[in-house]
Amino acid sequence: DYTPKKSDKFTFGLWTVGNIGRDPFGDPVRTPMTPEHIVHKLSELGAYGVNFHDNDLVPFGASAQERDRIVKSFKKALEDTGMVVPMATTNLFTHPIFKDGAFTSSDAKVRAFALQKTMQAIDLGAELGATTYVFWGGREGSETDAYRNPVDAIKRFREAINYLCDYVIDQGYNMRFALEPKPNEPRGDIYFPTVGHMLHFISTLDHPEMVGLNPEFAHETMAGLNFVHAVAEAIEAGKLFHIDLNDQIIGRYDQDFRFASENPKRAFFLVKLLEDSGYDGPRHFDAHAYRTEDEEGVWAFARGCMRSYLILKEKAQKFNKDAEIQGLLAEIRAEDENYQGPSASDGYSREHAQQVKDYKFDVTALSQRGRKYEELDQLVMELLLGVR
Ligand code: 3MF
Ligand code: MG
Ligand code: MG
Ligand code: MG
């Protein structure tokens, strides 16, 4: 059966199941739940942990006593359930002070305030055991480039991440950063819109080894890109520190749908990639229930995310064991594997380059060979549609 276990490492943000259904056109449709209630319910459903923005737990502007009271009660819920907090992050987008960004704001006081808020939120995350700290550049962007030079925005974001890496090192926290790209929404454009942009940016930091990615299915999809390929690039670079799972239709608003609800085939290849690659971090759902739902619908949503992941994981195992699929793959790969001539993987030498230049290829035969991907893909479809 597809009942999640703690060992599956499923996590949800407090803001995900806690989403009250406010949107640009309508008021909230659900009453807020306490973090403690969320922790207990998620634990009952088989989740492993819960993540939060500072203000999902401690309201903006709360006093120190209020903070400590809230943290104490939240810790008790964690202890009572065995739930963990693998990841924490900062809300640098809701309060009006961040209307023109946080670390990239054009106002030096706002940039300094963002640092202050983030260091306090890092302390909160560390206190609750978080080992991954996420940075999503919520309002780090623009509607017009008339005012701020985007080159300055890049430099400011770098200064902030470098500063905060030093803070974490100085405090001795066991914590890595995971940067989360998104192309747009809530800004017209957000800086560092894709996984590729972020990967390069990381290579320019003072402590690149401390910083990786938190890619999100919906975000690459909003940009019209293949999320599986983006995750592959992060994995190959050793930078998949965390992942946000949800679903999204290309070209729409930021939907944050239940995992695998819109693109089950792409979700299948994603789950297969994660499982085959040995990724052992949390499977975090950054999604929320439809606005049509009451609390019961929220838990149906949460169960659905985890259940679909486990079903797709089983399908990936079936793919790897299916004799017909594996036979067809072997047949397709045979010529490639039997090739004896020179190739790039031999490494470069002047002599080798001459061998490549002299090698005689049967261009006609190579061009005419069908790839059998139609047949293969249909087998995948039939596996997914449940008739294999
Ligand atoms: C927005 C997001 C964010 C980030 C979060 C950090 C509110 O589209 O995806 O969720 O994931 O801020 O994890
Ligand atoms: Mg998102
Ligand atoms: Mg979102
Ligand atoms: Mg996200």
What are the backbone angles phi and psi of residue 332, rounded to the nearest 5°? -65, -35
Q: What is the DSSP letter of 139?
A: T
CB 287 within 8 A of CB 27: no
Instruction: With CA atoms as reference, report the closest residue to 313 among 379, 373, 264, 256.
Output: 264
Q: Which amino acid is at 142?
A: S
Rounded to whole angstroms, the Cα distance separating 40 from 54 reads 19
Best residue for ligand 1 mutational test, from 15, 244, 247 (most atoms within 8 Å of Cβ): 244
Confidence of residue 126 (pLDDT cuts 50, 70, 90): very high
- Match 């500072």 to its residue by tokens: 54
Ligand 2 center–CA 256 separation, angstroms: 6
pLDDT digits (tens, 9 = 90+) for 315-329: 999 999 999 999 999
Residue ID of nearest Cα to ligand 1 atom 3: 136
> What residues contact 115, with CB distance under 8 A and at least 6 apart?
103, 160, 163, 164
- Match 């599986």 to its residue by tokens: 228
Q: Which two tokens stand for residue 164?
A: 């905060």
Query: Residue 129: which region, alpha, beta or left (left: phi > 0; alpha: psi -120 to 50)?
Result: left
Atom of ligand 1 nearest to the CA of 182: 8
Ligand 2 center–CA 121 separation, angstroms: 20
Mean pLDDT rounded to a whole number for the chain: 98
Q: Within 10 Å of residue 107's Cβ, how many Cβ atoms?
A: 11
- Match 């399908």 to its residue by tokens: 315
242 ligand 1 Cβ < 6 A: no
Confidence of residue 247 (pLDDT cuts 50, 70, 90): very high
Mean pLDDT, residues 326-353: 96
C-alpha to C-alpha distances, 78 to 15, 40, 96, 128, 166, nearest whole angstrom: 17, 8, 32, 9, 29
Confidence of residue 191 (pLDDT cuts 50, 70, 90): very high
Per the omega criterion (within 30 degrees of 0), is the bond before 342 cis?
Answer: no
Confidence of residue 26 (pLDDT cuts 50, 70, 90): very high
Q: Which amino acid is at 28?
A: P
| pLDDT confidence of residue 185 | 98
| pLDDT confidence of residue 327 | 98
Q: Which amino acid is at 128?
A: L
pLDDT digits (tens, 9 = 90+) for 282-291: 999 999 999 9
pLDDT digits (tens, 9 = 90+) for 264-300: 999 999 999 999 999 999 999 999 999 999 999 999 9
